[in-house]
Amino acid sequence: MKARRRTGPTDVVKAIVYERDGGACVRCGTQQDLTIHHRVNRGMGGAREEWINQAHNLLLACRICNGWFEDNPRKSYEAGWKVRRPQLPGEVLVRYTDGREYQLTPDGVRSTTVAAAR
Ligand SMILES: [Zn+2]
């Protein structure tokens, strides 16, 4: 059996993420040059955990912000744009361009929670 490497999310998941994030970058709001950003990096050995390529681990981001996340890990972790293992993407709120923080679910739902709860 040939080892099959899943390198990224399916087109269906990408479409869910695009819809959920309103077709705009989660950090700067641009609608240009968008890509899918992984909050928890796929890491070595590829996507072993199934949630790696599910909607709550993915954000719509432009290429500039996608690079910014890697250059500014501390701020990215604070905003939930990046998630540090062993935390799971569903446990960490994400800041969007409206300044509010949202919880994401694997099926592509984005809901507000009380920010003060943190
Ligand atoms: Zn951006």
C-alpha of residue 86 to centroid of ligand 1, in Å: 26
The model's pLDDT over 26-36, given as tens digits with 9 standing for 90+, comes to 999 999 999 99
Q: Structural domain boundaries of the chain?
A: 11-117
Q: What is the pLDDT of residues 74-112, one digit of tens each?
A: 999 999 999 999 999 999 999 999 999 999 999 999 999
How much distance in Å is there from the Cα of 71 to the middle of ligand 1?
A: 14
- Using the mean position of ligand 1's atoms as its centre, give its distance from the Cα of residue 3 in Å: 35
Q: How many CA atoms lie within 13 A of 29 on its CB side?
A: 5
Alpha-carbon span 110 to 23, nearest angstrom: 14
| Residue 65 contacts residue 28 (beta carbons within 8 Å) | yes
- Whether the ω angle into residue 106 lies within 30 degrees of 0, i.e. cis, is no
Angstrom distance (rounded) from CA 102 to CA 80 = 9
